[in-house]
Amino acid sequence: MTDAPANSQNMVSDSALDDAMKAKRKKFLGFFALILILAAILYAIWALFFNHSVSTDNAYVGAETAQITSMVSGQVAEVLVKDTQQVKQGDVLVRIDERDAKIQLAQAQAELAKAQRQYKQSQANSSSLNSQVGVHNDEIISAQAQVNKAQADFDRAVLELKRRNELAVSGAISKEELSKAQSAVSTAKASLDLAQAGLAQATSSRKAAESTLAANEALIQGVNEASTPDVLVAKAHLDQATLDLERTVIRAPVDGVVARRNIQIGQRVAPGTVMMSVVPISALYVDANFKESQLAKVKTEQKVTLSADLYGDDVVYHGVVQGFSGGTGSAFALIPAQNATGNWIKVVQRLPVRITLDPKELAEHPLRVGLSMQVNIDLASK
């Protein structure tokens, strides 16, 4: 009889325990639901009011490095800089032996003087040839007079022979006189032929002189000493020789720091030989490699804050988005990715974003090419 009350008591306690567990579970689920609601509200507030930036630590300092190359061939006479040395624009970096260049300059100067003298000689030749043409004209006039005289003598001899022939029929003259008249005609004819040949020779000489004059005039017609082609070519050679002499002294094209110097005194260089590089540390930029999913709201001219691992978070740089690269890093890789395969796995691509830095901040805290940067772009800025 004592077992029944005990069982009844156990059933009551189990029911109370189940109710307590259900109450705790319901309270926990309500608390968890409240946390989810608060998280959703906080995310909405952050997305609407505070999500105005994107950042990455995949960013590195870069620069438009100036390569110093030789423009002339020759032996290096002097190297005035070392690696890590700071230089200013116009500072002398390297001197190449200038003796060969000076010889070429002297040759070019001599060629110019020769061309100028040849022009003056051509002018003098024109005057001389004009005089020769005049002389040949006088010779033609004289030869023409000789022809006219010989023609008159020939006509007179022919007329005398005709009269002698008429008199010879009647026997009024002797055969000797007739023979003399015939000889006179032959002599007059020979003199006429000789005079005509002299006239032809004088005419040919004048034509030759006129042709020589025309050829000489063609060389100097429409030009002066400064614009004649031979003088212009000689001047161009002189300018080139002068430039080659100037190029034996190699100067820094920009302000910066010398890097990768690989030239030594006594080394012979050829045009195009790379001697060193000058890194313009006052004109550095940052290439930030953002994920493609981060770039939807990134625009040019947006403001950027940056920090370098070199200085830590205590030094903050300010910059501006300059532009976007023409392709992702993988697109310009030496061996581009081949995604048209059955084993393709999607990889989030990164696009380089060029960021310009404040020169004043760079002067206060210099950077170097290749340093790592932390980049944060303010999407709300213009």
Residue 378 within any structural domain of the chain: no
Strands 268-269 and 303-308: unpaired
Residue 366 within any structural domain of the chain: no
Q: What letter would DSSP give residue 174?
A: -
Residues 105, 188 within the same domain: yes
Residues 221, 236 within the same domain: yes
SS3 126: helix
Residues 75, 143 within the same domain: no
Residues 160, 267 within the same domain: no
Residues 70, 113 within the same domain: no
Q: What letter would DSSP give residue 65?
A: P
pLDDT beyond 80 at 295? yes
Could you give the angle at the alpha carbon of 197 between the alpha carbons of 180 and 126, nearest 5°? 150
Which tokens in the block code for residue 6? 């005990």
pLDDT, tens digit, for every residue of 214-238?
A: 776 666 666 666 767 888 899 999 9
**Number of domains making up the chain:** 2
Give residue 269's pLDDT.
94
SS3 112: helix
- Comparing CA positions, the residue from 258, 304, 365, 330 lying closest to residue 59 is 304
Residue 11 within any structural domain of the chain: no
Residues 273, 143 within the same domain: no
Could you give the residue ranges of the DSSP H alpha helices within the chain? 3-45, 99-170, 175-220, 229-246, 359-364
pLDDT, tens digit, for every residue of 6-54?
A: 555 655 566 666 777 777 777 777 778 888 888 887 766 655 655 578 9
pLDDT, tens digit, for every residue of 56-113?
A: 999 999 999 999 999 999 999 999 999 999 999 999 999 999 999 999 999 999 999 9
Residues 251, 185 within the same domain: no
pLDDT, tens digit, for every residue of 331-357?
A: 777 777 776 666 777 788 899 999 999
Averaged pLDDT score across all residues of the chain? 84
Residues 251, 173 within the same domain: no
The CATH code of the domain that includes 158 is 1.10.287.620
Find the mean pLDDT for residues 183-212: 82
Residues 123, 256 within the same domain: no
Q: Residues near 60 by Cβ (< 8 Å), separated by ≥ 6?
A: 286, 287, 370, 371, 372, 373
Residue 158 within any structural domain of the chain: yes
Residues 157, 114 within the same domain: yes
Residues 237, 259 within the same domain: no
Residue 333 within any structural domain of the chain: no
- Burial category of 76 from C-beta neighbours within 10 Å (exposed 0-12, middle 13-18, buried 19 and up): buried
The CATH code of the domain that includes 257 is 2.40.50.100
Q: Name the pTM for this structure.
A: 0.62
Distance CA 103, CA 74 (A): 13
Residue 26 within any structural domain of the chain: no
Residue 127 within any structural domain of the chain: yes
Range of the domain at 140: 101-242
Residue 204 within any structural domain of the chain: yes
Q: Residues near 25 by Cβ (< 8 Å), separated by ≥ 6?
A: none
Residues 176, 119 within the same domain: yes
According to DSSP, the residues that pair with 249 across neighbouring strands are: 95
Q: Residues near 187 by Cβ (< 8 Å), separated by ≥ 6?
A: 157
140 or 74, which is more confident: 74
Letter string b/e over residues 129-149, b meaning 16 or more CB atoms within 10 A of that residue's CB: beebbeebeebbeebbebbee
Distance CA 190, CA 183 (A): 11
Handedness of CA 80, 81, 86, 88 (dihedral sign): positive
Q: Are 356 and 301 in contact (CB under 8 A)?
A: no
- Comparing CA positions, the residue from 378, 361, 369 lying closest to residue 62 is 369
- Comparing CA positions, the residue from 106, 22, 77, 57 lying closest to residue 269 is 77
Find the mean pLDDT for residues 360-378: 92
